[in-house]
Structure 1
Amino acid sequence: MSRWRTGVPVGVLTAVVLGWFAAGPAPAGHTANGGGGKQFGIADVPGRATALYPGATGTRWIRLANAENFPIRVQTVTAVVGKPLDGAGRGVPACPSSSVRVDALATPVTVPGNGTADVALTTHMLPGAPDACRSVTFPLAYSGTAVKP
């Protein structure tokens, strides 16, 4: 069984009704770990709106991409929440990044050879999040592991 990892700083999570903002559906980068150097991509799926506000739970759709000609089984995907930004791209010091949490991938996902799979991650804005966290954007950095079945 081969193992490899990917870590991709992509996409953003936002607390406005306009929802998620992403540059596009294509994977934005890859990293591999030893044992064959296999890779897979993780990117945001654009156009999926989510309204997060203090105490809310939502869904963040991501796309897993496999450039190999055989299927892979993605075992883990996690997201680290970055410092929030306002509409002009400036930091929002009154809103800590810890106000938002993204759950890890709930179950492993098989991605076909030369294919993609869209999956949902559950997002939470903590009930005690300050009002400054409304209408801001939270950048997400993804990482994950996969095996060749």
Structure 2
Amino acid sequence: MIGILIITHEAIGDAYRGLAQHFFPGDAPANVKILGVTQEQQHEEIIGRTQTLIQELNCHDGVLVMTDIFGATPCNAARKLVREGRVAMLTGLNAPMMVKAIQYSPAAADLTAFTQSVKAAAINGILDITTPPDESC
């Protein structure tokens, strides 16, 4: 099992928590934690809280940390905790990424392959639609 840690700017974390509950009714899976970072929090505090959450996940196959924006505070804190084979990170969090990660993480055992699979879901979930639908169907 791979743990999932979502770290975002404060209210975005709450929105993703609600979205997770929509797709996965009931309590959040035990291998999923969400941290919303506030403007008042110091960088070291965020790193400490992130370390604690990674330890609480206690997933022997590793932890995938997903953040909202590359280069922003949640990302910068999480990036310091990446450890090859133990903690990986993806940025640019979107709904397809989150759903794929939560759905398949309980059965996943290869952190690198799982990270690439979740990244592909994020990218494939972005479509450019520039013409109206065909009304003849």
State the TM-score, normalized to the length of structure 1.
0.27
| TM-score in terms of structure 2 length | 0.28
Higher helix share: 2
Q: Which has the higher strand share?
A: 1
